[in-house]
């Protein structure tokens, strides 16, 4: 939960940098977390600029345990589930979003058949974050956003994504949007080879 950056993770855990780095090394060696490094590939980064790596639990179950069970274990042990239910209700979308993003990465690997994806992940710097940053075999740049909310995604989301790319000086060739509840008519009319739209229904392809 949270932004996953090393600095904020150490702060939430109330440990200093040295202790945090030792913990990260131990947890990574045990396969509990993975460390994703920031991509310093665009001219919007200063020569001396450093951006925190991000820490991710390796499975949704481990994320669920440390987000909702471990912090409230005493109440759960005593049969009081009120607090854990409230916490999950308030943070359900935040918890599920990362899983949706990771599933979308896998979906795109399947969808790009002629020009295969050779690299995919997330992108972040000091100013922006992208759910999807990918490269194809031909060198095309794919960027995207995943919205797991109970509202249709509108054209403004595409505009926001384009503005983020401008800020980061990313020259995207293809934009991807994934929505839980579909898209506005205006946005659907813009669907093309350079704008791909997906819904959670498309995840069925991952288990067929």
Radius of gyration of the chain (CA): 19
Residue 21's alpha-carbon distances to 18, 79, 205, in angstroms, are: 5, 36, 39
Q: Which helix (H) or strand (E) holds 44?
A: none
Residue range(s) occupied by CATH 3.40.1350.10 in the chain: 104-206
Q: Which fold has domain 104-206?
A: Trna Endonuclease; Chain: A, domain 1 (3.40.1350)
- Helix extents (H) in 32-124: 60-64, 73-77, 82-111
With pLDDT > 90 as the criterion, what percentage of the chain qualifies? 56
* Cα within 13 Å of Cα(192), Cβ side: 7
Tokens 């109970």 identify what position?
A: 150
Sheet arrangement for strand 117-124: 117-124, 129-136, 141-147, 174-179, 195-199
Residue 177 has pLDDT above 90, yes or no: yes
| pLDDT band for position 180 (cuts 50, 70, 90) | very high
Specify whether the backbone of 191 is left (phi greater than 0), alpha (psi in -120 to 50) or beta.
beta
Higher pLDDT, 41 or 139: 139
Higher pLDDT, 45 or 96: 96
Cα-based distances in Å from 56 to 53, 106, 179: 10, 17, 23
* C-alpha to C-alpha distance for 133 and 183, rounded to whole angstroms: 21
Is the model's pLDDT at 43 over the cut of 60? no
Which helix (DSSP H) or strand (DSSP E) does residue 165 occupy? helix 155-168
Four-CA torsion 27, 17, 102, 94, nearest 10 degrees: 110
pLDDT at 1: 60
pLDDT in tens, 137-147: 999 999 999 99
Euclidean distance between CA atoms 55 and 24, whole angstroms: 8
User: Which tens digits make up the pLDDT trace of 181-202?
Assistant: 999 999 999 999 999 999 989 9
The sign of the dihedral angle between the CA atoms of 72, 75, 76, 80 is negative
pLDDT level of residue 40 (50, 70, 90 thresholds): low
What is the per-residue pLDDT across 90-118, written as a single tens digit (0 to 9) for each? 988 888 888 999 999 999 999 998 899 99
Q: How confident is the model at residue 21 (pLDDT cuts 50, 70, 90)?
A: confident
User: How sure is the predictor about 4, in pLDDT bands with cuts at 50, 70 and 90?
Assistant: confident
Tell me if 17 sits within 8 A of 103, measured CB to CB. Answer: no
pLDDT of residue 9: 83
> What pLDDT is stored for residue 16 in this prediction?
86
Question: Using an 8 Å Cβ cutoff, are 177 and 159 in contact?
Answer: no
Confidence band, pLDDT 50/70/90 cuts, at residue 24: confident
Q: What is the pLDDT of residues 75-88, one digit of tens each?
A: 999 999 999 999 99
């Amino acid at each position: 939960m949270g932004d996953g950056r090393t600095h904020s993770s150490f702060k939430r855990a109330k440990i200093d940098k040295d202790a945090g780095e030792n913990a990260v090394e131990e947890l990574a060696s045990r396969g509990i977390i993975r460390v994703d490094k920031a991509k310093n590939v665009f001219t919007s980064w200063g020569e001396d600029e450093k951006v925190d790596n991000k820490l991710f639990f390796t499975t949704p179950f481990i994320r669920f345990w440390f987000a909702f069970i471990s912090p409230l274990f005493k109440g759960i042990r005593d049969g009081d589930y009120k607090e854990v239910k409230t916490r999950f209700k308030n943070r359900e979308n935040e918890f599920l979003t990362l899983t949706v993003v990771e599933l979308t990465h896998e979906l795109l690997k399947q969808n790009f058949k002629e020009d295969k994806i050779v690299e995919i992940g997330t992108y972040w710097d000091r100013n922006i974050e992208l759910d999807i940053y990918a490269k194809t075999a031909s060198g095309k740049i794919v960027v995207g956003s995943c919205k797991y909310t109970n509202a249709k995604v509108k054209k403004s989301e595409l505009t926001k994504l384009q503005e983020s790319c401008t800020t980061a000086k990313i020259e995207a060739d293809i934009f991807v949007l994934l929505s839980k509840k579909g898209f506005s008519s205006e946005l659907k009319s813009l669907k093309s080879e350079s704008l791909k739209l997906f819904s959670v229904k498309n995840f069925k392809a991952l288990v067929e």
